[in-house]
Amino acid sequence: MAKMSYGRRLTQLAELDPERPAVTCGESTLTRLQLEERANRLAHDFLERGVEFGDMVTIALPNSTDWYVAMAACWKVGAIPQPVSAKLPARELQAILELADPRLVVGVSEDVTDGRPATPIGYEPQSTDTTPPPDAISPAWKAPTSGGSTGRPKLIVSGDPAQFDEATPGVFGSPTGCMVMPGPLYHNGPLIWSVSALLAGSHVVVLERFDAEETLAAIDTYQADIVYLVPTMMKRIWRLPDETRLGFDLSSLRQIWHLAEPCPDWLKQAWIDWLGPERIFELYGGTEGQAATIITGNDWLAHRGSVGKPAEGTIMICDADGNEVPTGEMGEVWMRSLREKPTYRYVGAQARTREGGWESLGDNGRLDADGFLYLGDRMSDMILSGGTNIYPAEVEAAILEHPDVTSCAVIGLPDADLGNTVHAIVEADEAVLPREALVEFVGERLARYKVPRSVEYTDEPIRDDAGKVRRAALRAERGA
């Protein structure tokens, strides 16, 4: 077994089975050989444009086979791929470009990059050379962005080089497998899962954008063994009519991974009852990678509501004064990597740290006697109302049980008497689900003080396709 660059690994896969599908998106499919040759052409083009070892290359492409070609081209020249949303407003993109200072921006025209070299969507490389460039190992295999709790962008540059180890190919793919990826590729979860599957030799089937029925159809059509989801996707799939949802063959699935946002207990139970606990896996961790927990469906049934035990790194729960709390008590979740080398570095932010190598992402949680972690909300999202802590995720889970609610977000709004009151922003039709009916529904499930005092209806998506919602931005938009 040997270690090799990501670029060399893609070449190796093309040599082993050139006609096996590597990536599919919509009507476009690239075989391993086609991916290899297109990535090599683009890599030579990058070199001609002055991209050098260690340079960042910002990739602003939508979900597509071209996204994987651009990522592979970066690795082949030793550059660091820096993926961002293809839908970023110019101002937000500029803020990221100022941080990344990329040598090249892929997927936009130069008139929005403030003079930085750029190539538009659909760009065809000038180079016709399909041979691999001189082998290189990128010093960081990815550098995704995060808005963070403040809304200011930051880069999270991986501490791992773009190096594949044949001895540990990972758990997200295999030479005969297929992964269905319905999430946006610029987010860290979809990025890690799909790239890991690709490098392991799996056929990666990525949706242009999430659609509940199309996700099930892709699993059925390609007989996928792994699918990546977030709870928002799980809910929309579950709410399909039974005759639609049950009409697809999902027997090929070995692993259903979900992460990125809290999963309500009722929804997780529904999926376990539908597809069996042995197929359901959940992961909790940050892009920073200091630590991560994993829980199987069977373990979840024994530790209902938990996100698992540490699979990487270690976790400690502390109070506001930094003292470790007793088992079962809520506090701030602190993580520590057990690796000698840092798992990441920030550009544009400072980590929240404490002595001993501990870091916090701002989450609240508790550990049970068996070492299983249970999460509350981000500290910055918690609502203090009348001296009582209210966790938005708990209220959201109750609201989402209603069949007429597509999505929701719960925030605190300033109140002269209570300090804050619970405000629900609900993606639903008010004519079908009036405020009084929704409040009554939630009141049957939660204590009175947790029930929203105000409800706001919208027909716009509240969460993105990765299941993310920025409560700080929602509060700011409402003057809170």
pLDDT at 150: 42
Pairing state of beta strands 314-318 and 331-336? antiparallel
Can you tell me the distance from the alpha carbon of 424 to that of 16, in angstroms, rounded to the nearest whole number? 54
Query: Element (H or E) spanning 15, and its range?
Result: helix 6-16
Q: pLDDT tens digits for 175-230? A: 999 999 999 999 999 999 999 999 999 999 999 999 999 999 999 999 999 999 98
- The two tokens of residue 288 are 């920073």
Buried b (16+ CB within 10 A) or exposed e, 307-318: bbbbebbebbbb
Which pLDDT value is given to residue 147?
Answer: 58
Distance, in Å, from the CA atom of 280 to the CA atom of 52, rounded to the nearest integer, reads 42
- Regions of the chain with pLDDT less than 50: 148-151
Structure tokens at 402: 């209603």
Tell me the pTM. 0.85
What pLDDT is attached to residue 24?
A: 98
Q: Which residues have C-beta within 8 Å of that of residue 447, sequence separation ≥ 6?
A: none
Indicate the SS3 state at residue 212: helix
**Phi, psi at 97, each rounded to 5°:** -65, -35
Question: Do strands 419-427 and 407-415 pair parallel, antiparallel, or not at all (unpaired)?
Answer: antiparallel
Distance CA 179, CA 273 (A): 22
